[in-house]
A and B are shown apart, each in its own frame.
Chain A
């Protein structure tokens, strides 16, 4: 009796002796396929076919949803209040859980060795953004903070405090950046924009209501002071009770410290440049006024 186990073991044995898999050898897992309900067949399904006895129910003439037989229905009795007023004009931020982020990184759809941007997320089909439906980007949500264990340099449009803590605990960097609707559309679908032959526009600043959010170091805003951001990192580590890892000693420090300029939409491309897809060339303006405009 040999004590060495052969690799594969019983599975390999089975594989060698059982016949090859064909359509005739397969069967779905019991419980996955439920037979559909067929009305009007058989002793129990027939007769009234599950419609009840006479009346509007059997004859399919029930009144509309919400009707209460003439009594003022609930949806009309309750008085209106402006909860939903202007709802279609409110900015929306698609939530991205840390769990989903980890899932995408594990499957290889997002590359943690490069800065993760909204473009990367859309390319990896991680999130779906509709810039025309008042979406202003992506917000990081802390669900899944317990399972998150990836070191990333991520840029989102909003982030909750616990999510920021979870990312920084693993040695990553979060930045919140604002994209006005045109820049957001370009960021989500860069290739159709390049094909349209327009120069890359400047990113506009947030409005008066959001500028406070993006100048705050606690939200890791892109307009905030970097010194204050470092202090905020330390403070957050103390608040959530973890040791803040030192990024400067990391091998990927250069990648982690990559950040976009406030007027820049893409890494490596500046406003004013034209990207030519068929010939794979970049055209830059030389006119003084244009240069001055595009560099603010």
Chain B
């Protein structure tokens, strides 16, 4: 409890804890200029605690239902009737075993602030790292793009040229065949192929 009396952090504002005044039945309001005083008469609903004839169940009798012998009901009795209900106030708080359970549950489901912040930071770092990696990959690939585009274009052009060349060669060979045999020869026939192989041999001889 003393921890609360000291400031937890060096505060600009003083975080002193003051007691609440007793429950007011009216709320006096004074405007800051001090000229008007508006008072709202707020009448709270009367609290009917039935203190004159309280029902306090008999713990020993068998007729009282089970739920009226539980600790929860005892707390409610104390809350309504106070010390005259015959409940030991020490039983209002959890026992040591129950306290252990509560602490374990809290540790699992409601970790302290430092752990929470660490988890949040870790998650954020992970997400950031992932995002950075992805962006790096994209940037790297984009940097490669002009070269890849140029390569592809070059390849396409080469293929086109090759095709043209091939066509020109075939036309030449056809013309040659036409010249030699005197009629349009089918390029798939064996005569044509013979002629093509002959021409190739002559060219080889010329080169070597």
Chain A interface residues (CB < 8 Å from chain B): 105-113, 123-124, 151, 173, 191, 194-199, 204-205, 208, 211-212, 215, 223, 225-227, 229-230, 254, 256-259, 261-262, 264, 266-270, 272, 274, 276-281, 283-285, 287, 289-291, 293-296
- The answer to whether B96 and A289 have CB atoms under 8 Å apart is yes
Report the stretch among B59-67, B108-116, B153-161, B166-174 that lies at the interface: B108-116
How far is A96 from B45 in the complex, measured between Cα atoms in Å?
Answer: 25
For residue B116, give the distance in angstroms from its CB to the closest CB of chain A: 5
**Which of A106, A278, A281, A294 has the most B CB atoms < 10 Å from its CB?**
A278
- The answer to whether B80 and A195 have CB atoms under 8 Å apart is yes
For residue A195, give the distance in angstroms from its CB to the closest CB of chain B: 4
For residue B100, give the distance in angstroms from its CB to the closest CB of chain A: 9
- The answer to whether B80 and A205 have CB atoms under 8 Å apart is no
How far is A290 from B17 in the complex, measured between Cα atoms in Å?
Answer: 21
Enumerate chain B residues within 8 angstroms of A261, measured Cβ to Cβ: 4, 8, 15, 17
CB-contact partner of A197 in B2, B10, B20, B75, under 8 A: B75
Enumerate chain B residues within 8 angstroms of A109, measured Cβ to Cβ: 27, 40, 42
**Closest A residue, CB atoms, query B109:** A204
CB-contact partner of B117 in A215, A264, A272, A281, under 8 A: A215
How far is A293 from B106 in the complex, measured between Cα atoms in Å?
Answer: 11
How far is A158 from B185 in the complex, measured between Cα atoms in Å?
Answer: 91
| A205 with B116, Cβ < 8 A, contacts A109-B42, A291-B1 known | yes
How far is A230 from B76 in the complex, measured between Cα atoms in Å?
Answer: 45
Q: Offer 15 A-B interface pairs, CB within 8 angstroms, sorted by A.
A: A107-B38, A111-B27, A194-B79, A195-B79, A257-B13, A261-B8, A262-B113, A268-B17, A268-B19, A270-B1, A272-B1, A276-B79, A283-B92, A290-B93, A291-B1
- The answer to whether A208 and B49 have CB atoms under 8 Å apart is no
B191 within 8 A of A: no
| A227 with B12, Cβ < 8 A, contacts A208-B123, A270-B1, A290-B93 known | yes
- The answer to whether A204 and B42 have CB atoms under 8 Å apart is no
- The answer to whether B92 and A199 have CB atoms under 8 Å apart is yes
CB-contact partner of B29 in A105, A173, A254, under 8 A: A105
B149 within 8 A of A: no
Report the stretch among B81-89, B135-143, B198-206 that lies at the interface: B81-89
Enumerate chain A residues within 8 angstroms of B51, measured Cβ to Cβ: 278
Enumerate chain B residues within 8 angstroms of A291, measured Cβ to Cβ: 1
B180 within 8 A of A: no
Interface residue ranges of B49-74 to A (CB < 8 Å): 49, 51, 74
- The answer to whether A113 and B30 have CB atoms under 8 Å apart is yes
- The answer to whether B42 and A277 have CB atoms under 8 Å apart is no
**Closest B residue, CB atoms, query A228:** B12
B35 within 8 A of A: no
CB-contact partner of B40 in A108, A227, A229, A276, under 8 A: A108
B150 within 8 A of A: no
**Closest B residue, CB atoms, query A192:** B79
| A266 with B20, Cβ < 8 A, contacts A198-B75, A287-B93, A290-B93 known | yes
- The answer to whether B81 and A293 have CB atoms under 8 Å apart is no
**Closest A residue, CB atoms, query B50:** A278
For residue A249, give the distance in angstroms from its CB to the closest CB of chain B: 14
For residue B95, give the distance in angstroms from its CB to the closest CB of chain A: 10
For residue A230, give the distance in angstroms from its CB to the closest CB of chain B: 5
How far is A204 from B3 in the complex, measured between Cα atoms in Å?
Answer: 17
What 4 A-B pairs are tightest by C-beta distance, nearest first? A197-B79, A108-B40, A257-B13, A197-B75
Enumerate chain B residues within 8 angstroms of A294, measured Cβ to Cβ: 1
- The answer to whether A277 and B47 have CB atoms under 8 Å apart is yes
| A285 with B93, Cβ < 8 A, contacts A195-B80, A196-B76, A270-B4 known | yes
- The answer to whether B77 and A151 have CB atoms under 8 Å apart is no
How far is A274 from B8 in the complex, measured between Cα atoms in Å?
Answer: 24
B9 within 8 A of A: yes
For residue B77, give the distance in angstroms from its CB to the closest CB of chain A: 7
**Closest A residue, CB atoms, query B44:** A123
